[in-house]
Amino acid sequence: MKRTLVERELTQEGPRRGGTVRRRRRSVTVNLAEPPLSWLHARGHLDERQFDAGERLRADYERAQIAPSITMRWDPVRAKTTGGGLSPSEAQIAARERFEGAMAEAGRGLKDVLWRVVCACESLPDAERALAWPARSGKLVLRLALDRVGDFYRL
């Protein structure tokens, strides 16, 4: 994965001197390629089990190739399977069944934010706005959904 780092300038009000406000500037490096799930885990908002459940769900989502594709696929075609394993199409079907089972386990009210943050890699504030939820409510709902998905994957 290519890492995209961006320098952003943040300003904050400094101390008041003689009725004027001095502004101090500082710069922060932000990795735009960091998935929201990793960001939440790195800052202590998700525990290890919830993070692993989200990563397994995203892996199944990608392996099942559920996301719409825009162009022709140029992946190499393999004619043989090795040693009793699943063929690529069988592995795709199995991943889709696991993904659908995990989403069903999350439940009707929780799978919306789960899909948006884990699979579509939307930030939590963007997902809250898209679902017309109050600010800062998505984190709690996401944690509940990831706990249920962890139960499904037996983590």
Q: How far apart are CA 94 and CA 22, in angstroms?
A: 60
Q: Which residue has the tokens 């699943």?
A: 86
Instruction: Give pTM, 2 decimals.
Output: 0.72
Q: 112-149: per-residue pLDDT in tens? A: 999 999 999 999 999 999 999 998 899 999 999 999 99
Mean pLDDT of 80-102: 83
Q: Which residue has the tokens 């984190």?
A: 139
User: What pLDDT does 1 receive?
Assistant: 46
CB 122 within 8 A of CB 76: no
Q: 21-47: per-residue pLDDT in tens? A: 556 676 656 676 788 999 999 999 999
Q: How far apart are CA 25 and CA 35, in angstroms?
A: 27
User: What pLDDT does 147 receive?
Assistant: 96
CA 82 vs CA 60, 75, 78, 86: distances in Å: 21, 18, 10, 8
